[in-house]
Structure 1
Amino acid sequence: MGIIAFLIIGLLAGLIARAIMPGTQSMGLIATTLLGVAGSFVGGLVASLFSRDGRVFDLHPTGLLFSVLGALLVLFLVGMAGSRRRVRV
């Protein structure tokens, strides 16, 4: 898969994940793209566990779905890590 297609799928996955996740996320376009790319890696690793050939970087019809699920997981973990750093009064 080309790098441009990978970035576009990452951007779409990041935008969808941010729309699904409740609350506000103060991210720009680049951070959203990086979120989607990280979600693509996580989703690709999970999807490769269930596929027969085990290839991570192949383009599959469920690739965007697993990318969004992976981005939701990354966004949740980043939110949890960010809430621990704040001091609650």
Structure 2
Amino acid sequence: MIENYGILGWIVIGLLAGGIAKLLMPGKDPGGCLITILLGIAGALLAGFLGKAVGWYDESEAAGFVAAVIGAFLILLVYRLVLRRR
């Protein structure tokens, strides 16, 4: 579970999830390393929130790594769409 790792664990898992999401999504990405970490962490939080909302996770559980990657991918997609409109 992600929540047992502490802040350093969130950063490492966020970096990995964001990096994998960047690799899976073709095209240029406007963000750097810090944006990748933040998107990965946000993806893990999004996956955990949505998983709890639909009953996949209990309140004490965090999202798994695959769910964090999927969440980071979705957030990266939204991030690119918002920046493209500017």
Superposed pair shares fold, TM > 0.5: yes
Q: Any runs of at least 4 consecutive aligned residues in structure 1 with deviations exceeding 6 A, and if so which?
A: none
Partner of 2:29: 25
Structure 1 stretches lacking a partner, 5+ long = none
Deviation, 1:59, is 4.4
| Bigger proportion of residues as helix | 2
Q: Does 1:76 align with 2:77?
A: yes
CA RMSD, aligned part only?
A: 1.6
Deviation, 1:36, is 0.3
Take 1:41 and 1:4, find their aligned partners in 2: how far apart are those partners?
A: 15
Query: Could you tell me which amino acid in structure 2 is paired with residue 80 of structure 1?
Result: L
Alignment equivalent of 1:54, drawn from 29, 45, 59:
59
Deviation, 1:73, is 0.8
CA pair 54-19 structure 1, distance change in 2 beyond 3 A:
same
- SS in structure 1 at match of 2:11: helix
Take 1:52 and 1:36, find their aligned partners in 2: how far apart are those partners?
A: 19
Deviation, 1:26, is 3.0
Aligned length: 81
Alignment equivalent of 1:40, drawn from 41, 44, 53:
44
Q: TM-score, with normalisation over the residues of structure 2?
A: 0.82
Query: Could you tell me which amino acid in structure 1 is paired with residue 66 of structure 2?
Result: L
Structure 2 stretches lacking a partner, 5+ long = none
Take 2:14 and 2:33, find their aligned partners in 1: how far apart are those partners?
A: 11
Q: Percent identity?
A: 37
| C-alpha contact 2:48 2:57 (8 A) present in aligned 1 | no
